[in-house]
Chains A and B, each alone.
Chain A
Amino acid sequence: MRGTPFILILIAVAGVVFGLARWLDNSYAFFVGYVVVQYIVLGTAWNILGGYTGYVNFGITAFFAIGAYSSVVLHKLVPTLPLPAMIVVGGVMAGIVGVGTGYLTLRLRGVYFSIATLALAVVVQTLITNWDFVGGARGAYVLRPRTAPLIGGGYIDYLFLIMLGLCVAALATARAIERSSLGFGFAAIRDDEAAAEASGVPTLRLKLIATGLSGGFMGMAGAPLPFYVTYLDPASGFSLNYAVNAIAMPLIGGTSSWLGPVVGAVLVGGLQEYLRVTISSAVNVLVAGVLMVMFVIIAPQGIVGLFQRKRR
């Protein structure tokens, strides 16, 4: 399947999902749907760097929160700015930080890179916590409109639709990378950086593309967050949940293909939401942790990998 039909199918699927949610006419469906789709975007973003290129980023919350807080800033400065514009700005900001971090840390390999990204999350959180304009440690309130622009209905409908659109963009990008020379370059870097360089792969430039794209999509996933939660403080914006889930979902679904993060996010995200309402709101982190450990031991290639292996 070529690129354009794939995007059309994605859009059709997103349309059906949105139509279904509208038909259910239950705002809880939109809240759950938003979270799951947000995790598809986050997982896909993580996978571009972690799965395709082999650089494990633990600093997801840094990029996610940069997107979220850039929306807070924009909302204070220009309250009338439409959300898609905020998403673009949030994505660009996080993408720039991604490229910058990449440039400074990509001489570090393996686990040292991961530790540096962890440090980045701490640094960004400290900066935000001490920045009064965005509420500092107290947090910031964002009053969202009561009704959705353009499509009518509750504002959450609009947030869900926006997140679905982002998801289509992220998945189309991920799949396009997989099939392009960029994807082969990423895979070569993941397998052996020195051999990649000796084969003519400009490793530094490709790694910067990967960190920029990955960080950018994380920022875009975070940009609508203030409107979703309406009150954003550093503790929730930088919550460990985002980092754990964004890593666990691609690992569980499979890191080798764009489908992995989708499968992982729908499965784990869905299960978490189910357990949140049936058992307890704290058990959801346990789910991601336990499943991740199980999959790393039993099926390191993830669910998609299991099927691919059968085919091979």
Chain B
Amino acid sequence: MTALLHIEGLGKRFGGFVALDGIELEVQDGERLGLIGPNGSGKSTLVNCICGTLQNEQGSVRFAGEKLDGLLAHERTRRGLARSFQLPRPFASLSLAENLRIPILYAVNARNAGALPTAAIDARCRGLLGEVGLAEKADRLPRDLTQIEMRKLELARAMAAEPKLLIADEAMAGLSHTEVDEIIALLIRLNGQGVTVIMIEHIMRAVMEFSQRLAVLVAGKKIADGAPKDVVRDAEVVRAYLGE
């Protein structure tokens, strides 16, 4: 099996601050990877470098055998990389259905080099909203949503781009116990449909439940990568989280 995502020697600095240093990471097709690390360890920077919101200075990102370096975020989305944002960023003036319409119009249509008819797009938007349990609010505005519904919308919008790889950036922060379970179930279901998922999360329960493999970032370096059970017992990981 070839790796879907292949990150090699990735480095990113902000002025004198080294945010990421020589990151090596492979994600296999269909895998569920958990990515953890203390605050400020570079998780979101890594996501931004993978997705093209930031450009890495060193190393390279390969996706489905293609080099992504230098491509803008929207070009990477069209190649099958989607993300959700840590803080939900809905299109506030558009209805929920219209929110999902954007990636269909701009990512899916661009990829297939042919426009879907409006009715098909609409059906697809509503179908996706149904999958995350928001079907009844399809014509409402994002401001009418609760926190968990906002997270679901965020994930649904990422899914609307029909990605091969989904990066869920702290999709569960601030949610209740049962809500976390709901999102985990949703992500596992997506994975079952063939989407590779990278989950970035602080909630260890969610990470342990979801991940087939776990990678740990500390101060811009990857310090561990392996089976979740082994990684959480790794001496270096324990030290990073709990101190000496």
List residues of chain B with CB within 8 A of the CB of A191. 90-94
Q: Is the CB of A203 within 8 A of B89?
A: no
What is the predominant secondary structure among interface residues of chain A facing chain B? helix
Give min CB distance, B99 to chain A, whole Å: 9
Measured in the bound complex, the distance between the Cα atoms of B105 and A187 in whole Å is 13
List residues of chain A with CB within 8 A of the CB of B51. 198
In this complex, what residue of B is CB-closest to A200?
Answer: B107
Q: Is the CB of B109 within 8 A of A198?
A: no
Measured in the bound complex, the distance between the Cα atoms of B101 and A201 in whole Å is 11
In this complex, what residue of A is CB-closest to B53?
Answer: A194
Q: Is the CB of B102 within 8 A of A184?
A: yes
| CB of B20 within 8 Å of the partner chain | no
Measured in the bound complex, the distance between the Cα atoms of B51 and A197 in whole Å is 10
Q: Is the CB of A196 within 8 A of B102?
A: yes
Measured in the bound complex, the distance between the Cα atoms of B101 and A185 in whole Å is 10
Band of interface residues on B = 20 to 34
Instruction: Identify which of A184, A199, A203, A204 contacts B107 (C-beta below 8 A).
Output: A199
List residues of chain A with CB within 8 A of the CB of B74. 197-203
What is the predominant secondary structure among interface residues of chain B facing chain A? helix
Instruction: Identify which of A187, A199, A202, A204 contacts B161 (C-beta below 8 A).
Output: A199
Chain A residues engaging chain B, CB cutoff 8 angstroms: 181, 184-185, 187-188, 190-192, 194-204, 256
Instruction: Identify which of B77, B98, B105 contacts A198 (C-beta below 8 A).
Output: B77
List residues of chain A with CB within 8 A of the CB of B108. 200
Residues in B78-106 with C-beta less than 8 Å from chain A:
78, 82-83, 85, 89-94, 98, 101-103, 105-106
Q: Is the CB of B91 within 8 A of A198?
A: no
Measured in the bound complex, the distance between the Cα atoms of B103 and A188 in whole Å is 10
In this complex, what residue of A is CB-closest to B106?
Answer: A200
Instruction: Identify which of B90, B98, B107 contacts A195 (C-beta below 8 A).
Output: B90
List residues of chain B with CB within 8 A of the CB of A194. 53, 73, 85, 89
| CB of B222 within 8 Å of the partner chain | no
Measured in the bound complex, the distance between the Cα atoms of B92 and A256 in whole Å is 13
Query: When A181-B109, A195-B85 are in contact, do A201 and B93 touch as well, CB less than 8 Å?
Result: no
Measured in the bound complex, the distance between the Cα atoms of B115 and A200 in whole Å is 15
List residues of chain A with CB within 8 A of the CB of B77. 197-200
| CB of B157 within 8 Å of the partner chain | yes
Ordered nearest first, which 9 A-B pairs have the shortest CB separation? A200-B107, A200-B106, A191-B91, A195-B89, A199-B103, A200-B77, A197-B73, A181-B105, A199-B102
Measured in the bound complex, the distance between the Cα atoms of B77 and A197 in whole Å is 8
Measured in the bound complex, the distance between the Cα atoms of B108 and A212 in whole Å is 26
List residues of chain A with CB within 8 A of the CB of B90. 191-192, 195
Give min CB distance, B109 to chain A, whole Å: 7
Q: Is the CB of A200 within 8 A of B103?
A: yes
Q: Is the CB of A192 within 8 A of B91?
A: yes
Q: Is the CB of A187 within 8 A of B85?
A: no
List residues of chain A with CB within 8 A of the CB of B106. 181, 185, 199-202
